[in-house]
Structure 1
Amino acid sequence: MGRVARLSAGPLSSFSSTSSRGPLDAAAAVGSPEGAESAGLAIDGSGQRLREDPVGPLTGIRVIEIAGIGPGPFCAMMLADMGADVVRVDRASAVRGGDPDHPPRDLLNRGRRSVGIDLKSPEGVEAVLSLVEGADALLEGFRPGVAERLGIGPEVCLARNRRLVYGRMTGWGQDGPYSSAAGHDLNYIALAGALHGIGRQGEAPVPPLNLVGDFGGGGMYLAYGMVCAMLEARTSGRGQVVDAAMVDGAASLMTAFFGMAGSGFWSDERGTNMLDTGAHFYNVYETADGRYISLGPIEPQFYAELRERLGLHGPEWGQPMDRSRWPELKEKLAAVIAQRTRDEWCDLLEGTDTCFAPVLSLAEAPEHAHNRERGTFAEVAGVVQPGPAPRLSRTPGAIRRPPPHAGQHTDEILAELGLDEAAISARRESGAVA
């Protein structure tokens, strides 16, 4: 057997709030109320343990999120995972059209509270601006100019709260020839030069899910920019606008490749370079059972170990950086890998210095022994999901609550603004809130 057991047959492991291996003490084990209370945890209706006490590095930060899709919610999830009090402003129509008997499954919305507000109502706009007055940041993902037309643009919001950080998530950016055009992740990474390099030689570019634009170049960069701006506001006392464009973020992720291309180390022909399936030693191979493994022994000592374990003793394997031999060696290595099943390769290579890992599905990844041991995934309210990342040793992130129903916390949030029951009821009857 390899040094790491490959796949556990048991159910998804629970997370201990006392584990020294990571910050997922928010986690998700089913347990008794007494045990949860002693650990400082709250239990929701399904019996899942969630972290309610403020332990994250962003505890004390309040963020107003204007409901959107994709990268904006991902940014808000990252901030909420790290302790920020994120208030999601959902459309009143989403509240009225929701199904309270079915729990929300959009995991990007976890960790926050939801208030239902009609942004086209003057009273609704005033409610948002009242929230802004007590917030550290606001984020929205409208096309340029929409927030201004609604009356919640940066100029209005910063007039109400000069320390406010105003995060704007778009694909193309707030200006430029494409700024008002529709688009999606695929288009943004295409314009950034990222999509061109993803795929095999002689074939069309391959969309890498929507990881590079929406989440990596979009939501992650917006979260980074907002935290930077909030830190600066503590010194200057002044907020600012964060213009996070997915084209910009995806281009930034390509910095190293632009450097390699400029130095002549990277070819613009995809599938011919060391890191884009050109090399035999950095690739994905099909196994005898139709599954796949990944190999990446770039360094000489790791490549030597792979040769030894696979019995690749011929002279053709001795010069791995000879690019002229890569196509031939890819075919030969593919033939070797095809002789065993994925699990058999796991038995031989897992946990070694051959730079090996099995290619796992979404269903398999949470059950792998390494991910279980580290608590990489959690099960909250019956839904398996990745836990917060990265891991902080003293003020760890946590999943504090499952995704809310739209408008689930409307009364609670409006009461925090000083409205009594009669005032809240009046606004609900007028349709300004829901």
Structure 2
Amino acid sequence: MQTPKKIAIVGSGLVGTLLGIYLKRRGHTVHIYDRSPDIRKINFTGRSINLVLSNRGVKALRDVGLDHEVLSIGIPVEKRAIHTGLNTVNEQFYGKDGEVIYSLSRGLLNKKMVDLAEREGVEFFFEEKVWDVDLATATISIGESERGEWTTHNYDLTFGSDGAFSRIRHRMQRQSMFNYSQEFLEVGYKELHIPANSDGSHKLNKNALHIWPRGNFMLMALANLDGSFTCTLFMPHDGENSFESLQTKEDLVAFFATHFPDTKEVIPNLVEDFFKNPTSYLVTMKCFPWTYSDKVALIGDAAHAIVPFYGHGMNAGFEDISVLEEMMEKYGDDWANLLNDYENSRKPNADAIAELSYRNFMEMSAKTADANFLLQKKIEKWFSDKHPNLWVPLYSRVTFSHQPYAEALAEGDRQNEIMQEVLKIENIHQDWENETVENKILELLKLQ
């Protein structure tokens, strides 16, 4: 066990609450602050993308015995359902038999995590705005406004788990040699809703991630326990086929009739949802260092916010906690070296999943309807089934393994180079399940 410390966590989101559970299990006093009201007491709708939980996140939950409780509020998802046109759907299974990811309502999961953390003895302080932290002492400052009167609270260690626009990171940015960048996508998103059937059943296959890929925009849907689906429309903010171009009911209805005709019967409140719900932004944020001495540390989105197209924002944040736990086991009370190794271990992998997430938007919005891409995925699965020790697809490396993200990215790039050569084989679209293709891949693997 470590010597007990008094620890503050700023941010009561998914990563902050799970981190609180881990620290409490190690005997520390843990206080979690959040400027928002208790999520369990508010109606959480309108600007959310359903979460996807995969192996990395499940491991972090399993290590503290919470995996079964969390998975009980999720829906297993085994494949993509690609809606390429009216009543035309192509299916792509994510992995081998039994390999699934889980669709989870963000609001429902966050409420569950707060309950679980409180059960452990973590104390929450909602509607408390943390404006600053003293890096040398871990003291936090709280007040009603940024320029108003503040009160201070002393801690031995403070974690910033307060999201992409973290106040704790904002304070760290004011020191020398702190590198920071943020990049907004030209694409934003808006939440829509597919209600349940009258008998409570789902209108679409609940065990699939539904995607309507249309080039530089797309619609996506993931199932909820109550029979509904949370839909997310991703589009450019301005220009042709953009949020800016859809200003009237008539424009919106005509746009969906043209590009998503098979959604007419399943999204009955399209107009109401579209004009009621906000258009949200997507940002990638990178920074370093993530820690200051043994006093302050960033974790989750506060350290590495990513776009949601690989479904790994939460999983990467939960894996931060797994790595931090390994360092606590290794270093004990040596928090300076503990936090130093934590940030140096995670930084390359955080950058890698940011790159993978950005690339996956292109895959989901355009390539999933591309004949070459679909063939490539079929060949990869066929070859992987024949030679499982020689070829593990990139998605499986990222989602169904614990291989470091940076290694998975490098191996994925290598595999893609091989497949581009394979796709040049004459008549490959007509005949690919043969020894010529198999031997070509084996030959290219030996050369790399």
TM category, shorter: under 0.3
Structure number with larger C-alpha Rg: 1
TM-score, length of structure 1 as denominator length = 0.26
Per chain length, whose mean CA-contact separation is higher, i.e. which structure has more relative contact order (CA < 8 Å, sep 6+)? 1
TM-score w.r.t. length of structure 2: 0.25
User: Which has the larger strand fraction?
Assistant: 2
